[in-house]
Amino acid sequence: MLAKARSLPADEIVIDLEDSVRPDVKEAARSAACAAITEDWGGRAVAVRVNGTRTEWWERDVTELAKANRGALGSLVVPKCETAAQIDAVERLLEGAEDGTGFDGPRVGLQALIETAAGLVRVGEIAGAGLRLETMIVGYADLGASLGRPPEGLYPGDRWHWVRETVLVNARAAGLAAIDGPHLDVSDGEGLRSTALSARALGYDGKWAIHPSQLDPLNEIFSPTQEEFEHAHAVLEALEAAGERGAVQLDGEMVDEASRKQADQLIARGKAAGLGSTEA
């Protein structure tokens, strides 16, 4: 799986040491992850989901990964995050482990996985924790269990809408990225597209995938179209041409400073997806 991951068209690879690893092979999995982050990942972002801070494994996960890192490891995912104190504890341990290696490259960031009722209640507190926190992620499987929510239900509408909104708003208020959790039914392509489109429409930056077959639709949905990319450039050009005026009309639409911010965000997303202006 680690070898195959290097060829996948994903923006980030998350190596898992938590729920997908049986207790009797935790040590072997950690060793494999430590070896993996010493290798070349071709510039792709690499994260490791460590074991939760209420387990016996998390401290060695953090310290050994920090000692093995020589630049490939971008962040650690903290699972079942329920308090700011958990983020602070991981950060302190990571700081101490990094200081002891002599490695002066990029510091490892943190991502908080919100997947319990307690985590939802304190999501604002968590979002403001530490100095390394970069991302908030929704974890649906454990969250469903925490809420007592069955896998399938007859709820009229999107039963996860409030959860997505809550995590997104608190992430943005703290200046963090927001990532939607995975669609667990790998065979359900229509459901994957539906949930991804909803998350994108709300403003999420991306969505976790749990199978290679999910990557192409997710890349398509979370990447701007060429038309959107060109329109964003047109907004910036119109505002620049407007000079001292704060607002200007473009194709019947009033655009202003808020439009500039949205255009900048879309252009950055488009460039990351490999888009370029046809005029350029």
Count the neighbouring beta carbons within 10 Å of the beta carbon of residue 263.
22
**Residue spans in the chain of domains classed CATH 3.20.20.60:** 2-222
Q: E-strand spans in the chain?
A: 12-16, 45-49, 73-78, 109-114, 133-138, 177-180, 206-207, 248-250, 253-255
> Do residues 266 and 229 touch, judged by C-beta distance below 8 A?
yes
- Residue pair 180/155 in contact (Cβ under 8 Å)? The answer is no
Task: Give me the percent of the chain exceeding a pLDDT of 70.
Answer: 98
Q: Answer yes or no: are the C-beta atoms of 50 and 76 closer than 8 Å.
A: yes
**Tens digits of residue pLDDT in 190-246:** 999 999 999 999 999 999 999 999 999 999 999 888 888 888 888 888 888 888 777
Beta strands 73-78 and 45-49: pairing type?
parallel
What is 2-222's CATH number?
A: 3.20.20.60
Residue 154 scores a pLDDT above 80: no
Whether the predicted model's global pTM rises above the 0.85 cut: yes
Residue-wise pLDDT for 9-21, tens only, equals 999 999 999 999 9
- On whether the CB atoms of residues 53 and 90 are closer than 8 A, the answer is yes
